[in-house]
């Protein structure tokens, strides 16, 4: 169903949490958390935490989670959604982390690394705040050609709004090279660095509804809201069509491909 009223309810962070987190970021968070062998009481940093899905799910393993992000709107949703959980959230720039040396047993950074303007500085900061023996798990999207979700948005947005409107989506896939990811962690002084290409098969039971939510949670949401009904429906249908065989007329099943880095700080 297309949202015919097209009121942009909530702010961008709330729409991200409502429309994108269940389908995209929750399955990935579960995958990344399973890669860290947590002991109860471990201190976890969820770096670039957004609305905090990694931190929230990790508390199920008995960890004390701290989420850090530069976006106050994301942090507000993270705090609201984590009531009663052993998770706190605070402003934190990855390039200059506001934490003491050797504060954390583990760091997970889900789809944040590609946005850091100085990646070596951010990865060095992570090493600094990890305890000796601490583990880091990062994931960052691979190229557009491997990610129908981002490809569909780039194709549709460039058609309706021009190439400039695709920049934010292209940035999601802006650090796709596994060798560069490996070198980044090796050069920072991490040990046991392994980069794996992981493809999760994501599912939206109602593909049309998901695309509608996607439109509301994208950086061009305001421009979409300003379209008339016929234009919006055309954009929605176009984007759904861009998923090709991933859409079976009801559900969307699409591969989502990322480089997952596991690394540790030497004892």
Ligand X SMILES: C[S@@+](CC[C@H](N)C(=O)[O-])C[C@H]1O[C@@H](n2cnc3c(N)ncnc32)[C@H](O)[C@@H]1O
> Is residue 126 close enough to count as binding ligand X by CB under 6 A?
no
For 245, the token pair is 């065989």
Place of tokens 């998923």: 243
| Candidate segments 4-12, 88-96, 123-131, 247-255, binder of ligand X by CB under 6 A | 88-96
CB of 228 to ligand X, least distance (A): 30
- Greatest Cα pair distance, the chain, in angstroms, is 61
Which residue in 95, 198, 227, 251 binds ligand X (CB under 6 A)?
A: 95
Q: Is 230 exposed, middle or buried (0-12, 13-18, 19+ CB in 10 A)?
A: exposed
CB of 149 to ligand X, least distance (A): 12
User: Alpha-carbon distance 41 to 62, whole Å?
Assistant: 6
C-alpha closest to that of 184 among 205, 176, 101: 176
Which of residues 122 and 232 has its CB atom nearest to ligand X in the complex? 122
User: Alpha-carbon distance 209 to 213, whole Å?
Assistant: 6
**Residues 16-75 contacting ligand X, CB under 6 A:** 21, 25, 48-51, 53-54, 69-71, 74
CB of 165 to ligand X, least distance (A): 18
CB of 8 to ligand X, least distance (A): 19
> Is residue 115 close enough to count as binding ligand X by CB under 6 A?
yes
Region of residue 201 (phi > 0: left; psi between -120 and 50: alpha; otherwise: beta): beta
> Is residue 111 close enough to count as binding ligand X by CB under 6 A?
yes
| Candidate segments 104-112, 176-184, 205-213, 219-227, binder of ligand X by CB under 6 A | 104-112
Which of residues 154 and 208 has its CB atom nearest to ligand X in the complex? 154
User: Alpha-carbon distance 46 to 67, whole Å?
Assistant: 5
| Candidate segments 91-99, 149-157, 188-196, 221-229, binder of ligand X by CB under 6 A | 91-99
What stretches of 129-178 adopt beta strand conformation (E)? 130-141
- Kindly state the helix (H) or strand (E) to which residue 196 belongs, with its residue range: strand 191-204
Contact residues toward ligand X (CB under 6 A) are: 21, 25, 48-51, 53-54, 69-71, 74, 92-95, 110-112, 115-116
């Amino acid at each position: 169903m297309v949202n015919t009223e097209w009121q942009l309810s909530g702010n961008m962070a709330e729409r991200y949490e409502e429309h994108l987190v269940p389908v995209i970021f929750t399955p990935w968070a579960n995958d990344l958390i399973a890669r860290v062998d947590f002991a109860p009481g471990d201190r976890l940093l969820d770096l670039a935490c957004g609305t905090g899905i990694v931190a929230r799910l990790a508390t199920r393993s008995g960890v004390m989670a701290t989420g850090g992000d530069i976006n106050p709107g994301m942090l507000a949703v993270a705090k609201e959604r984590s009531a009663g959980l052993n998770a706190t959230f605070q402003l934190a720039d990855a390039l200059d982390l506001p934490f003491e040396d050797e504060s954390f047993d583990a760091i997970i950074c889900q789809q944040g690394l590609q946005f850091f303007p100085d990646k070596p500085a951010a990865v060095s900061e992570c090493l600094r705040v990890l305890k000796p023996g601490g583990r880091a798990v990062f994931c960052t999207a691979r190229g557009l050609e491997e990610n129908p979700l981002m490809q569909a948005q780039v194709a549709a947005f460039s058609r309706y709004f021009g190439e400039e409107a695709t920049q934010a989506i292209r940035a999601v896939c802006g650090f796709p090279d596994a060798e560069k990811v490996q070198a980044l962690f090796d050069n920072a002084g991490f040990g046991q660095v392994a980069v794996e290409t992981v493809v999760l098969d994501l599912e939206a039971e109602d593909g049309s509804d998901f695309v509608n939510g996607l439109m509301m949670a994208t950086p061009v949401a305001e421009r979409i809201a300003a379209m008339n009904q016929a234009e919006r429906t055309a954009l929605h249908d176009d984007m759904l069509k861009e998923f090709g065989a991933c859409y079976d007329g009801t559900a969307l099943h699409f591969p989502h491909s990322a480089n997952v880095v596991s690394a540790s700080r030497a004892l």
